[in-house]
Structure 1
Amino acid sequence: MAVYRETRRWPAAEQYGLTSQARRSAYSAAANIAEGAAKRGSREFRRFLDISLGSLSELSYILQLARDLRYLKPEEWGEVEALRDHAGRLTWGLYRVIDRTPTPAQRKVSVGT
């Protein structure tokens, strides 16, 4: 929501450029987590978490560029970047937990031995 709130004040000339890209990368991060969670295996879920982390990295660059172009004040950038960083840390933590969780195929092998 913070990205949508901040991008409302960006120049109209950026509506189909930087504004659109910032919003897409923000919702892509969340949407990929939701989609990945619905998948059957942890390997697929991790793939979607990778995409989410990529979207968050893209958003970080866009926010830095917006700050440099003075679309965001330094304090506004700091607030939104802190939220983006927090989302990235949570996503990375989830990735690490899922990375240690055996897949159904791995569970079958360990049960049979």
Structure 2
Amino acid sequence: AEELCKEGAKWPRGLGYLSDQLKRAMASVVLNLAEGNARMSKQERRRFFEVSRASLAEVSACIDLMQAFGLTHNSQSFKSSLCEISKMLWGLMK
């Protein structure tokens, strides 16, 4: 997350909206994971973990846009990290 934020800080001025969206999506991944862990019922936990995974997909889409706009050359590294996080979330949802 920290590395992605650093990348976003280097973007041209007109793409600030994408940087903001990326930060919100990353925050949503973490915050929904934390809230899910605080829930007592399995069904509630799973719902928050599902939202966290959906936000992770949004982060992935932002990385795709970064690559398309020529804003990063690290997309494979970022995507690899997202894949690992997704696997962990999937494990929590079982």
- Asked if Structure 1 and Structure 2 have the same fold, meaning a TM-score greater than 0.5 normalized by the shorter chain, the answer is yes
Runs (4+) of structure 1 exceeding 3 A deviation are: none
Partner-residue secondary structure (3-state), 1:71: coil
TM-score, normalised relative to structure 1: 0.77
Runs (5+) with no aligned partner, structure 1: 97-113
Residue 10 (1) aligns with residue 11 (2): yes
Mapped partners of 2:80, 2:7: distance in 1: 14
- Give 1:62 shift: 1.0
Deviation of the 1:19 alpha carbon = 0.4
Percent sequence identity over matched residues? 27
Do 1:3 and 1:26's aligned partners in 2 also have CA atoms closer than 8 Å? no
Shift of 1:91: 0.6
TM-score (norm 2): 0.91
In the other structure, the counterpart of 2:82 is 84
State which structure, 1 or 2, has the greater radius of gyration over its C-alpha atoms. 1
Once the two structures are superposed, residues 3-61 of structure 1 have per-residue CA deviations (whole angstroms, 9 ceiling, x without a partner) of 2122111122222x110011111121111000111112111010000000100111111
How do residues 86-101 of structure 1 correspond to structure 2 at under 5 angstroms? 86-96=84-94
Aligned length: 93
Separation in 2, partners of 1:5, 1:78 = 16
